[in-house]
Chain A
């Protein structure tokens, strides 16, 4: 490094010199010359190479020449810290006595070495170890969730006899949040899906002059699959995320600890109302969603095709067998149970900081949506085997 900006004689003003250093290894003791402006703004954060002193013989003294030093700030201390470490490594004695007093004191605050991240965590475990570890953890997790589900089911049975100790106020709040307050969004989504299905269906069916079958198409698709899935996805985003966020916030506030210490079971106080209300409300929302979806299809069909309203509705009613509804209804119940359990588990497992709340909410939504779709595939296979 060299001085690139000499002082300007024309204006007589003093332009700040760039930070520069040079090592004079010829003399005894070693001398490190520092000049210019050692602040972050002008000098940047110049590093001193770790092996910068490897030519020096151990036991030598390193002196600092600071006569041409101008301004300095933390950047200077950072550089000196590097020098000090390099000197330590090379066995050279670092002599700070020529530094400005405040710089000496700041430097004395710093430990000889920056803290190293623990080495053990860095080394990646062998592949098989990791697979085994993951598998064990998965099994462990499955076990935990199963226990949670069992405890909630037990709690629900007790709740029927009124002895669970669950606060009815909590249940009412959760029921409201998982049901009536979701009507609008579930309605909008299902209406649009029904309308889109009818639109696409009509365009294709018209080529075969089979327009009227659009009623069957929309009815069966929504009752059997789409309304159940759409409603579950909306609720995973809406209620699942909220559950996870709420529980992980309680964890961070030590509220869960307080429950445990008092011997108040977390399963009845926190999990039961949440899981129960979503499981009760989702099948109802599904029925409501299916009706709205069929209505969405009806509106599109009425504007695009010539049949009568009565004709369309009759075809719909005749086209959907009751068991399609029952199938969708049962699926919705299981989707709800899964979403709520997963969300609660994610919340309880979360860390204790504000960022962890966000992570937990995101994770609960993702697990909820992916899980619902995977479960639906499973249901399709089962239905196929059982010939439903």
Chain B
């Protein structure tokens, strides 16, 4: 049995690419049990793509992802699917199944992978939707609810099977500040309540400073991670110009023309 101090996921020297186009390389990090791990970086640097390779949607070009010591991508499809049952994923676009009601969306994974009786599932669906404040929407179709509500329903679906690892791609994008702050609390509560480990992609600095206790910063120019650590530590102690600019919301790292000369010259 794995020690509780072992990392739950550890990524070794990963390269992710679309065909010949390398998105990120030399990506290595450990995901500590019970931590909230932030994946940061500018738009288009490959955060969603990294997430995709961790949840089995995109085979990395090289490197390893160890889930409790087991090489994820070396397993066959069937074993990967089994491992996936420990994952809960909230997609950037929520990705609710549009032909089903909100309730059915949350119920489907349970119907599919647990032997529970329909009335028990119904109760559990109410419970999970209750966690995210969506119990009233159980019989609505995804097209009948707002974008923020869809995000919350997607969250309820992600926790349907009580996963131990949760992946959130920009959970608070498009939410109003109050809902967004409530979502932070919800994420913390879920982590403590379910004992889950959480990987979160986000641009919301205040929320990252508040909830994340570890992280990685991906750089779009060099296609490698350039910093590791909790967002608040990076904010306070990092000396890397790109990271400082990101954490302090500065427009440019250096004088615009100097940067141009550097990249194109």
Interface centre among A111, A165, A254 (most CB of B within 10 A): A254
Which of B89, B257, B265 interacts with A258 by CB under 8 Å?
B89
Q: Mark B7-25, 1 if CB is under 8 A from A, else 0.
A: 0000000000000000000
**Is B264 a contact of A257 with CB atoms below 8 Å?**
no
Whether B240 sits at the interface, judged by CB under 8 Å, is no
B245 contacts the other chain (Cβ, under 8 Å)? no
Q: Please measure, in the bound complex, the distance between the C-alpha atom of A188 and the C-alpha atom of B93, giving whole angstroms.
A: 42
Number of interface residues, chain A, beta carbon within 8 A: 21
Judged by a CB distance under 8 angstroms, whether B112 is at the interface is: yes
Given contacts A108-B257, A109-B256, A113-B264, A254 and B108 within 8 Å (CB-CB): no
> Which chain B residue lies CB-closest to A173?
B99
What 0/1 pattern do residues 159 to 173 of B give for CB contact below 8 A with A?
000000000000000
Cβ contact of A250, chosen from B98, B113, B264, cutoff 8 A: B98
Residues of A within 8 A of B84 (CB): 261-263
Q: Cα distance A249–B98 when bound, in Å?
A: 10
Residue of A nearest to B87 (CB): A261
B85-A254 in contact (CB<8A):
no
Q: Determine chain A's interface SS by DSSP, over half rule.
A: helix
CA distance A144 to B232 in the complex (A): 48
Q: Does A264 reach chain B (CB closer than 8 Å)?
A: yes
Minimum Cβ distance to chain B for residue A272 (Å):
14
Decide if A170 touches B99 in the complex (CB within 8 Å).
Answer: yes
A308 contacts the other chain (CB 8 A)? no
A253 and B264 contacting across the interface, CB-CB below 8 Å: no
Q: Do the beta carbons of A112 and B264 come within 8 Å of each other? A: yes
Residues of B within 8 A of A262 (CB): 84, 108-109, 112
Encode contact with B along A226-261: 1 for CB under 8 Å, 0 otherwise. Answer: 000000000000000000000001100111011111
- Asked if residues A261 and B112 are in contact (CB atoms below 8 Å), the reply is no
Query: In the bound complex, what is the Cα–Cα distance between A262 and B109 (angstroms)?
Result: 7
What distance in Å separates the Cβ of A349 from its nearest Cβ neighbour in chain B? 16
Q: Which residue of A lies closest to B113 (CB)?
A: A263
- Select one of B96, B99, B108 contacting A264, CB under 8 A: B108
Interface residues of A in 93-144 (CB under 8 A from B): 108-109, 111-113
**Cβ-defined contact, A255 with B97, below 8 A:** yes
Measured CB to CB, the nearest residue on chain A to B256 is A108
Asked if B95 and A257 make an inter-chain contact with CB atoms under 8 angstroms apart, the answer reads yes
Is the C-beta of B188 less than 8 angstroms from some C-beta in chain A? no
Task: Give chain B nearest CB distance to A127 CB in angstroms.
Answer: 23
Chain A contacts to B: CB under 8 angstroms: 108-109, 111-113, 165, 170, 173, 249-250, 253-255, 257-264
Closest 4 CB pairs of A and B: A263-B81, A254-B95, A258-B95, A254-B91
A170-B99, A253-B93, A263-B82 known; 7 other A-B pairs, CB under 8 Å?
A: A111-B264, A165-B111, A254-B92, A257-B95, A258-B89, A258-B91, A258-B95
Q: List 10 A-B contacts (CB under 8 A).
A: A165-B112, A173-B99, A253-B98, A254-B92, A255-B95, A258-B97, A261-B87, A263-B82, A263-B112, A264-B108
